[in-house]
Amino acid sequence: MNRSLLFVVGRPIGHSLSPAMHNGVISRLGLPLHYVPVELPEGRLEAFLRLVREANFLGGNVTIPFKEEAAALSDTRSEEVEACGAANTLVVRDGGLHADNTDGEGFLDALEGRGWGRRHDGVVLLGAGGAARGVAFALGRAGARRIAVLNRTSGRAEDFVRALSPRLPSVTFSTGGIDPRTLAEAFGDADLIVQCTPLGLIGEWEDFPHKAVKKTARFADLVYRAGGTRLVRRLRAVGVSSIDGLPMLACQAARSFAVWTGKEVSGGIFLDYAKKGLKKLEKRDF
């Protein structure tokens, strides 16, 4: 069977930049592939993945809200997926579905591309979802010594630590809430702060304690907006080096593309197509 289709599955999917990035690179390389967006209602992922195994799909990406379900439904899983419980990349192998997660290493690639390096001693993660787990696992393997997981619900943060701490024995984990006082205290010991919640996408963080962030710290927001998210812009205004989620999106896409095709394409090329796609979305929404 000639497997020539790739996909991104999620809900909603209309604003995904993945088709623009991957189809841009596919066209650039002249490959006989096509990347399509798939929006599914709740309860239909298992049926769709059966189709992926049986039809001419090579693989695809998974985004919100299906990452954890996709990991559970796959036939085999990478170490990253086993650690994080979430998959963002699927590939068909010998008729089965293998789950991978390129979010964490893609995040480190984005930091390295910014000149920040891959190792950061003191890390504060805001949020405790699948993306945060992927980032924490990658940072821990890269040499982080302390990771504070701050989340609105304490139980989810504690589950996060229970899942990852046995795999990262050299990391000291802590948990806490996201009230301004707790954030300010945590920021004092942070070399890197990573914003992993949907805030900035579905609202703004009005009481974020910007002045508590050290000028020597780095701030990364996994949400992206043209010109940077509001948090990124405000932190830059007070002298904190900051990036939004677009470079990570591009770098994880480059790693997914390598999983499917075996071809190494730089995250910078994917980033160029992401920026072009973002401009088109802005014009459409306007």
Q: pLDDT tens digits, residue range 183-225? A: 999 999 899 999 998 876 666 788 899 999 999 999 999 999 8
Identify the weakest region by mean pLDDT among 2-6, 35-39, 182-186, 188-192: 2-6
Predicted confidence (pLDDT) per residue in 54-86, tens digit: 999 999 999 989 999 999 999 999 999 999 999
Residues with a known catalytic role: 67
Of the candidates 129, 31, 144, which has an alpha carbon nearest to the alpha carbon of residue 88?
Answer: 129
Same fold, 5-101+252-285 and 104-244: yes
Multiple choice CATH, 5-101+252-285, 3.40.190.10, 3.40.50.300, 3.20.20.80, 3.40.50.10860: 3.40.50.10860
Residue type at 272? D
The mean pLDDT value of the chain amounts to 93
Domain spans of the chain?
Answer: 5-101+252-285, 104-244
The pTM of this model reads 0.94
Multiple choice CATH, 104-244, 3.40.309.10, 3.30.565.10, 3.40.50.720, 2.30.29.30: 3.40.50.720
- The CA-based diameter of the chain, rounded to the nearest angstrom, is 58
